[in-house]
Amino acid sequence: MKGILLAATTAVLWGILAIALKVALNYFDSYTIVWFRFLVATLVLIAYYAVKKPALLQVYRKPPKMMIAGAVLLAGNYIGYMQGINYAGPAATQIIIQTGPVMLGIIGFTIFKETINWIRGIGFMIATIGFCVFYFNQINELVAQKEAITQGVVWTLGAAASWAGYAFFNKKLVQKYHPQQINLIIFGLPVLLFLPTANFELFMQTYEWWVWVLMIALGLNTVVAYGTLSAAFKYTEANKISIVIIMNPVITFVVLELLMLLDINWFPINKVSPLAYAGAILVIGGTILAIGLTQKKKA
């Protein structure tokens, strides 16, 4: 239960994240936003543990290769997800990114030897059909944006694959290292990786105060969301975590509908058709079946 509650915290934060990132794109480019998020997350962790648990900072002396690999994969996930939102919008990105948990579920079956049966096989089929229904419906509904949506989907699929790889390494690392000790490297290395791509001239612009609050909040979202996710991997199985976190698109869709209802125009919102919603439901429902509601221990 503790692991599930931690994963639920991650799901809520990721649900509102897609919308917050789209708003931030009005002021900063994708690479600068990603760099700043990692920077804030890293500085917060270093400051906190320098006071509370200085021993955790020893990981910087000789970080394990697996942590470095996880950091590179998470960096790929962040920029792929950011570009997906930039081109395809929050709604489409939140659905397509769910291929990440499906990939994690496959890793759970093949690497961690979590059980698979015919119900899960049907789940994979339903999820695949849902992806196709959602994607092709969006393409047909938004013909003028076909190229942008396709580009966003490609970026998002790459982000999903990167996230699944990161999650695999994280699942193994938490058995030996403190979750936040892992994040010290996984957040810190991308700060260096994305440093050449950050546009520092944008930080010289005069923005309203809430823009800076938003940017800092995006960084804090990184700390809390991935901190609770890392802790969740320590307490429960990968498949159960996946089931919880794939609920985050529901939060995104609800908030988007509220924004349209209240006529709040932070950014252009593409109205989702009933058929696309049906595809989204198939994706979420199929993914839950594919990952599995229970896990049997291997004898």
Judged by average pLDDT, the poorest of 105-114, 182-191, 229-238, 245-254 is 105-114
Taking the C-alpha atoms of residue 184 and residue 180, their distance in angstroms, rounded to an integer, is 6
Q: Tell me the average pLDDT across 183-205.
A: 92
Q: Tell me the average pLDDT across 242-256.
A: 76
Instruction: For residue 50, tell me if it sits in a domain.
Output: yes
- pLDDT at residue 98 greater than cutoff 80: no
pLDDT higher at 82 or 299 = 82
Instruction: For residue 299, tell me if it sits in a domain.
Output: no
Average pLDDT along the chain = 82
Taking the C-alpha atoms of residue 133 and residue 128, their distance in angstroms, rounded to an integer, is 9
Q: Whose CA is closest to 129, among 251, 278, 298, 252?
A: 278
CA distances from 143 to 153, 154, 290 (A): 15, 17, 32
Residue 193 binned pLDDT confidence (cut-offs 50, 70, 90) = very high
Looking at the chain, the whole-number percentage of residues with pLDDT higher than 90 is: 30
Q: Tell me the average pLDDT across 214-231.
A: 86
Q: Whose CA is closest to 193, among 79, 62, 49?
A: 79
Q: Whose CA is closest to 293, among 167, 129, 114?
A: 114
Q: Whose CA is closest to 134, among 296, 297, 270, 299?
A: 270
pLDDT tens per residue across span 225-235: 877 877 787 78
pLDDT at 297: 42
Instruction: For residue 298, tell me if it sits in a domain.
Output: no
| Amino acid type, 6 | L
Overall domain count for the chain: 1
Instruction: For residue 296, tell me if it sits in a domain.
Output: no
Range(s) of the domain holding residue 146:
2-291
Residue 246 binned pLDDT confidence (cut-offs 50, 70, 90) = confident
Q: Tell me the average pLDDT across 85-111.
A: 78
Instruction: For residue 297, tell me if it sits in a domain.
Output: no
Q: Whose CA is closest to 23, among 249, 255, 274, 262?
A: 255
| Amino acid type, 292 | G
Judged by average pLDDT, the poorest of 40-49, 75-84, 175-184, 282-291 is 282-291
pLDDT at 270: 67
DSSP 8-state class, residue 55: G
Provide the residue count of the chain.
299
**Tally of CA atoms within 13 A in the half-sphere of 108 that contains its CB:** 29
Instruction: For residue 61, tell me if it sits in a domain.
Output: yes
pLDDT higher at 212 or 118 = 212
pTM: 0.79
